[in-house]
Amino acid sequence: MEENHGEEDVVDIVIVGAGLAGLTTALSLHRLGLRSLVLESSESLRITGFALTLWTNAWRALDAVGIGNTLRQTSTQIKGFKVASPDTGLFTSEQALDKDGKFEGYESRCVRRKDLLETIVKELPPGTIRYSSKVAAIDELGRFKLVHLTDGSILKTKVLIGCDGVNSVVAKWLGLETPVSVGRSAIRGLVEFPDGSGFDPMFHVNFGGGVRFGFLPVDDKTVYWFCTFTPSQVPTYEEDWQVNPIKMKQFVLSRINKMPQEAQDVVERTTLSSISYAQLKFRLPWNVLLGNIVKDNVCVAGDALHPMTPDIGQGGCSSLEDSVVLGRFLGEALLKKPNEEDDDDDEFERIKKGLEKYGKERRWRSFSLISVAYCVGFMQESKGKFMSFLRKVWFSSYTPSVFLKMANFDCGNLVC
């Protein structure tokens, strides 16, 4: 419905959310010579989550936007898995990631989220991010979109991109269903070892009993760890544990008390300010297949498109893929030299077709990643003797291959 509106600021491309997807999309567009405005509701850059594992597909995307080599200098290449016995807690098996040599040239590195986001921001033109800018409503004026902010200002834009996370306002406007809880939660931490951690460049993991615990080095002195579990495992009397890092730490230690002291030290030495909690949610896969992830000149990317469980480490990686693919198709639409006969409708048609190409390319990829991540998580955390046996067989034979196969994807360059 069209209404009478006050004065609007006109911006060609508005991106909602200055997280990984939003900032990388802005950088992709900037590399092509296209200016965008990123709206961030927080007062400053949000550095939550501490670190994330980036696989081959993510590094290809980072290379496409020109920052891959910068980030490689501060991260360690992960070589394989050390797996602890669910019975004894001791590391009893070791497996190279690419033991069969099927994925030559793979990459797997853990990167500080702060380093990643700040590296992107440094490459963006000044004024690209507008902080303290929360979207209140989205409206239409002809083929333009009007973005109403809570401070009363209005932005009129040709392209609206929602990179605003699991609780996306843009996804809601598109009619996508709200992501649902998977019944699991995650506690994560980042710990510094001033004299060096001494850990091998491996995923150190322990599965089973409803818990998945693991840690891996970011670099020589920094280690990232995680613990996913079902909240029903937490004693009912621990009422405030979700906001109390002391109790979070105590809970994780209680679940890994059979593991070697070096593993327990990773958690013990973590400062309380470097521990976080999150409920795990995902978008139902068929909602990605059948829902409106693109509509005319509006689309979603990153967690606004495909929130998924962290079980194959593809949440952030797929967000980077989105950003490059989106940048490429928008570049095709907006950089085409207009004919004398062209008018605004012609440009909007090109934008619409470009976003439709983006949606077509990302829909099945997102469906696959969400589905595989959920299944892997279910397998790794399920209880029972049969599931424990199945997990041992499955992990030794298939898990590394699943990680590498899902990461063996090339989003392409910004320019075809």
Residue 340, pLDDT score: 55
Phi first, then psi: what are they for 135, rounded to 5°?
-75, 130
- Say whether pLDDT at 295 is over 90: yes
Residue 93, both tokens: 């098996």
Tell me the pLDDT tens digit for each residue of 109-145. 999 999 999 999 999 999 999 999 999 999 999 999 9
Q: Is residue 190 predicted with pLDDT exceeding 90?
A: yes
> Which residues lie across from 192 on neighbouring strands?
222
Confidence of residue 99 (pLDDT cuts 50, 70, 90): confident
Measured between alpha carbons, how far is 283 from 61 in angstroms, rounded to an integer?
Answer: 23
> Structure tokens of 278?
């999150």
Region 320-340: what's the mean pLDDT? 90
Pick the more confident residue, 50 or 238. 50
Helix 56-64, helix 315-334: angle, nearest 10: 30
What number is the average pLDDT over the span 169-183? 96
What integer best gives the mean pLDDT of the chain?
Answer: 90
Q: Token pair 């063996």 is at which residue?
A: 408
**Per-residue confidence (pLDDT) for residue 402, from 0 to 100:** 84
- Does residue 186 have a pLDDT over 60? yes
Band of pLDDT at residue 100, cut at 50, 70 and 90 = confident
- Among candidate residues 372, 356, 394, the one with its CA nearest the CA of residue 315: 372
Residue with tokens 């980077």: 320
With a cut of 60, say whether residue 391 has pLDDT above it: no
- Looking at residue 2, what is its pLDDT? 40
Whether 14 has a pLDDT exceeding 50, the answer reads yes
What pLDDT is recorded for position 123?
98
What percentage of the chain has pLDDT greater than the value 90? 75
In whole angstroms, give the CA distance from residue 152 to residue 149.
6
Residue 205 backbone dihedrals phi, psi, to 5 degrees: -135, 155
Tell me the pLDDT tens digit for each residue of 227-236.
999 888 777 6
Residue 296 burial by Cβ neighbours in a 10 Å radius (0-12, 13-18, 19+): middle
46 has pLDDT over 60: yes
Closest CA to 135 of 298, 366, 326: 298
* Position with higher pLDDT, 102 vs 311: 311
Q: Say which residue, 57 or 6, is predicted with more confidence.
A: 57
pTM of the model: 0.92
